Amino acid sequence: MIYLDYAATAPMNEQALTALNELNREVYGNSHSLHDAGGRAENILEYSREQLAGMIGGAKEGVYFTSGGSESNLLAILSILNGLPEGRKHWITTTVEHASIRNALPLLERLGYRVTAIQPNSQGLVTKEILENAIQTDTGLVSIQHANSETGIIQPLEELSPLLRARGIVLHSDMVQTFCKLPIDVTRMGVDAASFSSHKVYGPKGVGAAYIAPAVPWKPVLPGTSHERGFRAGTVNVPGIGAFVTAAASVIQDQPEVLAHFRRLRSHLFSQAKQHGIPLTSAANEREVHLLPHVAGCIFGGMEGQYVMLECNRNGICISTGTACAAGHQEPSASLTAIGLRKEDALQFIRISFGRSTTTEELDQLIQLLASLKGGGPIDG
Give the active site residues: 325
The three-state (H, E, C) secondary structure of the chain, written as one string: CEECECCCCCCCCHHHHHHHHHHHHHCCCCCCCCCHHHHHHHHHHHHHHHHHHHHHCCCHHHEEEECCHHHHHHHHHHHHHHHCCCCCCEEEEECCCCHHHHCCHHHHHHCCCEEEEECCCCCCCCCHHHHHHHCCCCEEEEECCCECCCCCEECCHHHHHHHHHCCCCEEEEECCCCECCECCCHHHHCCCEEEEECHHHCCCCCCEEEEECCCCCCCCCCCCCCHHHHCCCCCCCHHHHHHHHHHHHHHHHCHHHHHHHHHHHHHHHHHHHHHCCCCEEECCCCCCCCECCCEEEEEECCCCHHHHHHHHHHCCEECECCCHHHCCCCCCCHHHHCCCCCHHHHCCEEEEECCCCCCHHHHHHHHHHHHHHCCCCCCCC
Neighbouring C-beta atoms of residue 102, cutoff 10 Å: 17
Phi-psi region of 68 (alpha: psi -120 to 50; beta: other; left: phi over 0): left
Q: Which residues lie closer than 8 Å to 255 by C-beta, 6 or more apart?
A: 180, 183
Distance between CA atoms of residues 117 and 97, nearest Å: 9
Alpha-carbon distance of 170 to 119, in angstroms, equals 19
Q: Using CA atoms, how far apart are residues 359 and 268, in angstroms rounded to an integer? A: 10
Cβ neighbourhood burial of 119 (10 Å; 0-12, 13-18, 19+): middle
